[in-house]
Homo-oligomer: A and B are copies of this chain.
Amino acid sequence: MDIKQSNTDTEIKQRVFFALSDPGRYKIISMLYHVGHEMGCNELNQHVEIDKSTMSYHLRTLREIGITNTRTQGRQKYVSLNIEKIENLLPGLLKLL
């Protein structure tokens, strides 16, 4: 039945669920998933109405969990979902958002 998993795996799952438990982060993740490509932080900010420092805080959380990638170009930062990692860990989760 393979119920027992490595703690680490379960812990990462829990962090992903944690990420999705906050309205702001849920919107960020959902939007990144549905648009299907990276977005500038500022662009994200226009869609998800939260203070820019709060946005930055949440984006850091997502980065630290490991479910987003960030690319810097000039003074802009582009965020994208690490879909492969999420799908590998929790296949089918993203399409539920």
* A interface residue numbers (CB < 8 A to B): 1, 3, 10-11, 13-15, 17-18, 20-23, 26, 30, 34, 90-93, 96-97
B-chain residues with CB within 8 Å of residue A14 when the two chains form the complex: 20-23, 26
The listed residue (B1, B3, B17, B91) touching A20 by CB distance below 8 A is B17
Q: Known contacts A13-B26, A17-B17, A17-B26; can you find 10 more A-B pairs with CB under 8 A?
A: A1-B34, A3-B34, A11-B23, A13-B97, A14-B23, A15-B21, A17-B18, A18-B18, A18-B21, A92-B92
What's the least CB distance linking A62 to chain B, in Å?
Answer: 14
Check A21 against B26 for contact (C-beta < 8 Å): no
Contact between A96 and B20, CB atoms less than 8 A apart:
no
Minimum CB–CB distance from A97 to chain B (whole Å) comes to 8
